[in-house]
Structure 1
Amino acid sequence: MRYGTPPSLDDILELAETALSAIPQELRNLVGGTVMAVEEAPDDEVLAELGMESPWELTGLYRGTPMTQKSVLDIPAEPDTIVLFREPILLEWIETGEDLFRLVRNVLIHEIGHHFGLSDADISRLEDEG
C-alpha cells in the first residue's frame, strides 16, 4: 500500500486483519474469538500499569488473561483483545523504514505470542517466517 496521508485507524486495522490471515496457521488457529482493535496511542492508565513513561514505546497490547493463567472454570468478563497503537506503529515505521504491513504483522505476532506464553525466541522465529 502507498499512502499520500498517514494511514488511518481503519487502514491499520485492515493491515492487521490481512496480517492475521498471513501469520503461520499454528498461531492463527489459537486466536479464534480474539477481537482486534486499533487505538491512536496507549493512555496514561495503560502506561502506568505497564511501568512505562513514553507512549511511543508501546505498539501493541494483549488485553485478556494469558492462556497460561486461564482455567476452564473461568467466566470471561470480556473477550480477549489485541490492541494495536497507530501512532507508535507509524513512528516506528518512519524511523526504521520497515514495510508497514510487515511491522503490523510483527506487532500482531508479538501480542499473540504474549497471550500464549511463547518465549521471545519463539516469537522471533514466528516473525521471521513471514
Structure 2
Amino acid sequence: MTRREWSRIRAPTLADIEALADAAYAALPQRFTRLCEGLVIRVEDFPDDETLDDMQCESEFDLLGLFRGRGLTQGAHLSETGEQPNMIWLYRRPMLDYWADGEDTLEAIVTHVLVHEIGHHFGLTDDDMEEIERRAG
C-alpha cells in the first residue's frame, strides 16, 4: 500500500462496528433471532468502570462484549415491570485491539463476540455457539 493510500485509512467508528453487528445479526439463523425479541445491542468504545470492576478486568481492553439481562434459562420470557431489556454491549476499542493483533477479519470478530454474547441469553455451550457462528458464515 502506498503512503497516500495509508493516509486515507481511518479506524472503524462506532457506527461501522454497529453496521457489522447488524449484518452479523441479520445473518444468524431465524430460529435463533426469533427468540431474541426485544434484545438491545449497543456499541461503546469501552466498558464503564462499574462493569470493569464487576467483571474483575485488569484492563479496559480485557472485555470485548457483555450480555446483561435475564437469559432464557432464567425466564427471560417472563417480563417484570420496571425491568431493563436484555442488552448486549460490544466494545469497539478492545475489538480493534484484538483485530490488530490477530489474523481474523473485523467482521469475523464482531460476529464471534455477538454470537457469544447472545449465547449467554440462551444458556448455550461454546460448542452450540460455534455451530451457530459456522452457520452464519
Using structure 1 for the length normalisation, give the TM-score.
0.89
1:41 matched to 2:37? The reply is no
| Distance in 1 (alpha carbons) for counterparts of 2:95 and 2:129 | 18
Q: CA deviation at 1:70?
A: 2.2
Superposed, 1:5-84 pairs within 5 Å as 5-70=10-75, 72=78, 74-84=80-90
Partner of 1:90: 96
Identify unmatched segments of 5+ residues in structure 2: 1-7
Give the ranges of 4+ consecutive aligned residues of structure 1 lying more than 2 Å apart after TM superposition.
70-76
**Cα–Cα, structure 1 residues 66 and 5, in superposed 2: closer, same or farther, change >3 Å?**
same
Q: CA deviation at 1:76?
A: 4.9
Using structure 2 for the length normalisation, give the TM-score.
0.85
Q: Secondary structure at the match of 1:57?
A: coil
> Of 109, 125, 129, which aligns to 2:131?
125
| Distance in 1 (alpha carbons) for counterparts of 2:54 and 2:40 | 21
**Cα–Cα, structure 1 residues 91 and 73, in superposed 2: closer, same or farther, change >3 Å?**
closer
> Of 102, 111, 129, which aligns to 2:108?
102
Contact 1:23 1:105 in 2 (8 A): no
More deviation, 83-92/40-49 = 40-49
Identify unmatched segments of 5+ residues in structure 1: none
